[in-house]
Amino acid sequence: MGLITAYETTKGRRYRVRYRKRDLTEAQKRGFTTMREAQLYLSTVTVSKSTGEYIDPASSRVPVRMFADSWLRSKQPPMSKPSYYKTLEQAWKNHVAPVWAEREIASIRRSEVQDWVSELATRKSRTVVIRSLGILAGMLDVAIDDRRLVNNPARRVRNLPRHGPGKRRVYLTHDQVATLAACSAYPTLVLTLAYCGLRWGEATGLRVRSVNRLRRRFVIEENAVMISYEIQVGTPKSHEKRSVPYPERLAPMVEQACAGKGPEGLLFGDGINHMRNSGEKGWFANAVRRAQAVDPSIPRVTPHDLRHTAASLAISSGANVKAVQRMLGHASAAMTLDTYADLFDDDLDAVAARLNDAMPLIALPSGPQTRYARPR
| 266 DSSP 8-state letter | B
Greatest alpha-carbon pair distance for the chain in Å reads 98
**Is a pLDDT exceeding 90 seen at residue 111?**
yes
Distance between CA atoms of residues 170 and 344, nearest Å: 15
Would you say the C-alpha torsion 304, 305, 310, 312 has a positive or negative sign? positive
Instruction: Give residue 245's pLDDT band: very low, low, confident or very high (50, 70, 90).
Output: very high
SS3 201: helix
- From 108, 132, 105, 104, select the one nearest 118 (Cα to Cα): 132
Instruction: Please give the helix or strand (H or E) that residue 203 lies within, else none.
Output: helix 200-204
Rounded to the nearest 5°, which phi and psi values hold at 104? -70, 135
Instruction: Give residue 19's pLDDT band: very low, low, confident or very high (50, 70, 90).
Output: confident
Q: What is the pLDDT of residues 359-370, one digit of tens each?
A: 776 666 665 544
Domain assignments of the chain as residue spans, ordered by start: 3-54, 64-145, 174-302
Q: What is the pLDDT of residues 170-182, one digit of tens each?
A: 899 999 999 999 9
Q: What is the pLDDT of residues 211-241, one digit of tens each?
A: 999 999 999 998 888 877 788 888 887 778 8
For domain 64-145, the CATH class is mainly alpha
Q: What is the pLDDT of residues 346-358, one digit of tens each?
A: 655 666 676 777 7
The Cα-based distances of 106 to 25, 154, 317 in angstroms read: 21, 12, 59
Is-contact 233 209, C-beta < 8 A? no
pTM over 0.85: no
Write down the architecture of domain 174-302 according to CATH. Orthogonal Bundle (1.10)
Helices 82-91, 126-145: axis angle to 10 degrees equals 90
**Is a pLDDT exceeding 60 seen at residue 153?**
yes
